[in-house]
């Protein structure tokens, strides 16, 4: 069995790490590179850096950030935000990113997934999906959750896989920042629908939530932000807890 991954996520706005609730009420959480170095020391398996306003503000993710991260970190990292073309992705790959994450641009131009996978390989392409449950149905949203679409969650993740995505990063907008637990039922449905790894995001508040997302939610990786940023949970303690729960993790 492959080990489950613990992935801190650093949402970037104006060069700083921020965190909010339900994609709003943002507060400063520190320098992204300094936080990243701390997570390497604590035993994180990977890192995700997302420029959360790049698409909304029509800015491209700064390659300078990727270069700075690559100089200081020795674990895989994904970077996303404002990536709209193979050229954008190529800049980030050459700057040191291990993977790129695309979200709104992929929904608007699904063939972008195929072009990226053809150019760099599926393992380089993470399709991030922000979805919200509305009257019992999960719908994909764009631009940091600001714009609803008619895409249903399960249909979109399957299309993403078919077009060449190597991983799905699913964030539940309903759960994001609430610390009430992951959307395990929706995550399990996503995992059952596709054959590529699923990264769970949105709702982590205590160690038991990670146990649940790896068992009931069938996720391959658990991603969280504020509980790690503000040291509510230490990654090394979390991994020891999960190992005690008979969940395979890298210690």
Domain limits of the chain? Answer: 5-244
Q: Can you tell me whether residue 102 is helix, strand or coil?
A: strand
Q: How many CA atoms are closer than 13 Å to the CA of 87, on its beta-carbon side?
A: 1
Name beta bridge partners: 132.
139
pLDDT at position 31, please? 84
pLDDT at position 226, please? 84
Supply the pTM of this predicted model.
0.92
Distance from C-alpha of 76 to C-alpha of 123, rounded to nearest angstrom: 12
Distance from C-alpha of 116 to C-alpha of 100, rounded to nearest angstrom: 10
- Using only C-alpha atoms, what is the Rg of the chain? 16
Query: Which residues in 5-32 are b (16+ Cβ under 10 Å) and which e?
Result: bbbbbbbbbeeebbbbeebeebeebeeb
Q: Which residues are catalytic?
A: 11, 130
pLDDT at position 19, please? 59
Q: Which residues of the chain have pLDDT under 50?
A: 21-23, 59
**What proportion of the chain, given as a percentage, has pLDDT over 90?**
72
Local structure of residue 3 (DSSP, 8 states): P
Q: How many CA atoms are closer than 13 Å to the CA of 144, on its beta-carbon side?
A: 22
**CATH class assigned to 5-244:** alpha beta
pLDDT at position 89, please? 93
Q: Cα–Cα distances in Å, from 9 out to 6, 36, 44, 233?
A: 10, 9, 10, 14
Q: Cα–Cα distances in Å, from 121 out to 2, 6, 86, 190?
A: 21, 23, 12, 22
Q: Are 4 and 235 in contact (CB under 8 A)?
A: no
pLDDT at position 141, please? 94
């Amino acid at each position: 069995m492959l080990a489950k991954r613990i992935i801190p996520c650093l949402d970037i706005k104006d060069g700083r790490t921020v965190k909010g609730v339900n994609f709003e009420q943002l507060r400063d959480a520190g320098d992204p590179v300094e936080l990243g170095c701390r997570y390497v020391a604590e035993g994180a398996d990977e890192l995700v850096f997302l420029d959360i306003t790049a698409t909304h503000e029509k800015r491209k993710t700064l390659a300078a950030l990727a270069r700075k991260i690559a100089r200081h970190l020795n674990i895989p990292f994904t970077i996303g935000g404002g990536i709209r073309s193979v050229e954008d992705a190529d800049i980030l790959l050459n700057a040191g990113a291990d993977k790129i994450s695309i979200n709104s641009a992929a929904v608007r131009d699904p063939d972008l997934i195929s072009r990226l996978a053809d150019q760099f390989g599926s393992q380089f392409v993470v399709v991030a999906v922000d979805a919200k449950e509305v009257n019992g149905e999960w719908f994909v949203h764009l631009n940091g959750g600001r714009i609803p679409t008619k895409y249903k969650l399960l249909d979109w993740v399957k299309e993403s896989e078919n077009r060449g995505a190597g991983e799905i990063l699913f964030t539940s907008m309903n759960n994001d920042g609430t610390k009430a637990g992951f959307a395990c039922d929706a995550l399990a449905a996503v995992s059952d629908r596709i054959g590529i790894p699923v990264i769970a995001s949105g709702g982590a508040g205590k160690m038991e939530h990670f146990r649940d997302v790896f068992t009931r939610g069938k996720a391959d990786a658990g991603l969280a932000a504020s509980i790690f940023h503000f040291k509510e949970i230490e990654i090394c303690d979390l991994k020891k807890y999960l190992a005690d729960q008979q969940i395979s993790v890298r210690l």
